[in-house]
Amino acid sequence: MARTALIICLRVTAVIALTCRLLPVPAVAVEFESTIEKAREKEASVDDGQKKLVVVTFGADWCKWCRKLEADTFLDERVNALSEQFLWVKVDVDEQPELAARFGVQGLPQTYVIDGDDRVIAVRPGYAGPLEFAKFLENALRNPNPPEELLLNLLNRLRAEESLEERNTTVAGLVEHLARPDRAGRDEILQAMSQTKSGLLPTLIELMSDDRLAVRAAASGTFLKLTRADLDFDPFGNAALREQQLQNWRNWLAAQPMSRGRTVE
């Protein structure tokens, strides 16, 4: 009898252990404060000598994409793996309209990363999935400088002699800057691009297939400004339509006598 009871007990234990392994691990949410001041007070209480960047995300209860950002992105393990390196603030624009106005919020959701002096160093308009948002955070950690400093660095790199790979990276950074909602430095970027001797147009076309709507729109607008071409492109269109239109752009560019030059006259 004792032997039978032991066998039953072991089997029950094994079933419980297997069940626990199969159950999903609950997602851990990013911990938000309601104001920047409260987030910094929390940091000061730790006093580990590190001044963290602050992620400030603006939303509202009625915003569908804001709810999706919270349910999908802020619960994702890739975002949570980076969360300890930042302070987090969630702002309801209906409750704090003055703060939203101060940041120049024009749509929801909208996320900013600011440094210890309240300087904006990165902006992400609209919804972003977990992978894209994690890349946004990683880029802010790698480049903890205000946009004007980043822009100056990018413009200097554009004017310098770079390899093709480096030039593509620089152009991508400038287009991302153009995609920002504040449109700061737009004229300076377009002027620098029109004056560079290396080919930018193929890179702009490839950026028009980016997952981000704002980047697609900025890349196509820049291409048209530089070339004055009469081409159709719908950044809101589905992937198949966009690819068909982009192929027309590639064909058009290949037919130009200066297709590898700075602009097409």
pLDDT in tens, 10-47: 454 444 444 444 444 445 568 899 999 999 888 776 65
User: Residue 125: beta bridge partners?
Assistant: 110
Q: Are 155 and 247 within one domain?
A: yes
**pLDDT tens digits, residue range 78-93?**
999 999 999 999 999 9
User: Residue 87: beta bridge partners?
Assistant: 54
Given a cut of 80, whether residue 7 has pLDDT beyond it is no
The CATH number that applies at residue 58 is 3.40.30.10
Listing from the earlier edge strand, what are the strands of the sheet with 86-92? Answer: 86-92, 53-59, 110-114, 120-125
Q: Are 196 and 226 within one domain?
A: yes
Does 261 fall in a domain?
A: no
Query: Which comes out higher in pLDDT, residue 113 or 211?
Result: 113
Which of 121, 144, 167 finishes a domain? Answer: 144
pLDDT for the residue numbered 24: 42
Q: Are 188 and 130 within one domain?
A: no
**pLDDT tens digits, residue range 55-70?**
999 999 999 999 999 9
| Number of independent structural domains in the chain | 2
Does 174 fall in a domain?
A: yes
Which of 125, 144, 163 finishes a domain? Answer: 144
**251 and 205 in contact (C-beta within 8 Å)?**
no
For residues 80 and 84, give the distance between their C-alpha atoms in angstroms, rounded to a whole number.
Answer: 8
Give the dihedral of Cα atoms 123, 110, 53, 150; nearest 10 deg.
Answer: 0
Please give the share of the chain, as a percent, with pLDDT higher than 70: 80
* Listed residue (11, 212, 216, 195) closest to 125, CA to CA: 212
pLDDT for the residue numbered 183: 66
Does 87 fall in a domain?
A: yes
Strands of the chain (E only): list them: 53-59, 86-92, 110-114, 120-125
Does 158 fall in a domain?
A: yes
Does 23 fall in a domain?
A: no
Q: Are 123 and 159 within one domain?
A: no
**pLDDT tens digits, residue range 230-247?**
999 998 889 899 999 999
Q: Are 40 and 70 within one domain?
A: yes
Q: Are 83 and 165 within one domain?
A: no
Q: How confident is the model at residue 211 (pLDDT cuts 50, 70, 90)?
A: confident
**99 and 133 in contact (C-beta within 8 Å)?**
no
Q: Are 100 and 178 within one domain?
A: no
Q: Are 46 and 140 within one domain?
A: yes
Does 94 fall in a domain?
A: yes
For residues 197 and 100, give the distance between their C-alpha atoms in angstroms, rounded to a whole number.
Answer: 41
Q: Are 129 and 85 within one domain?
A: yes
**234 and 242 in contact (C-beta within 8 Å)?**
yes
Q: Are 152 and 248 within one domain?
A: yes
Does 227 fall in a domain?
A: yes
Q: How confident is the model at residue 264 (pLDDT cuts 50, 70, 90)?
A: very low
Query: Which comes out higher in pLDDT, residue 204 or 151?
Result: 204
Given a cut of 80, whether residue 176 has pLDDT beyond it is yes
Parent domain of 62: 36-144
Run of H or E including 245: helix 239-254
Q: Are 139 and 40 within one domain?
A: yes
Q: Are 166 and 248 within one domain?
A: yes
* Number of residues that this document lists for the chain: 265
Given a cut of 90, whether residue 221 has pLDDT beyond it is yes
Does 51 fall in a domain?
A: yes
For residues 168 and 207, give the distance between their C-alpha atoms in angstroms, rounded to a whole number.
Answer: 10
Which of 144, 173, 192 finishes a domain? Answer: 144
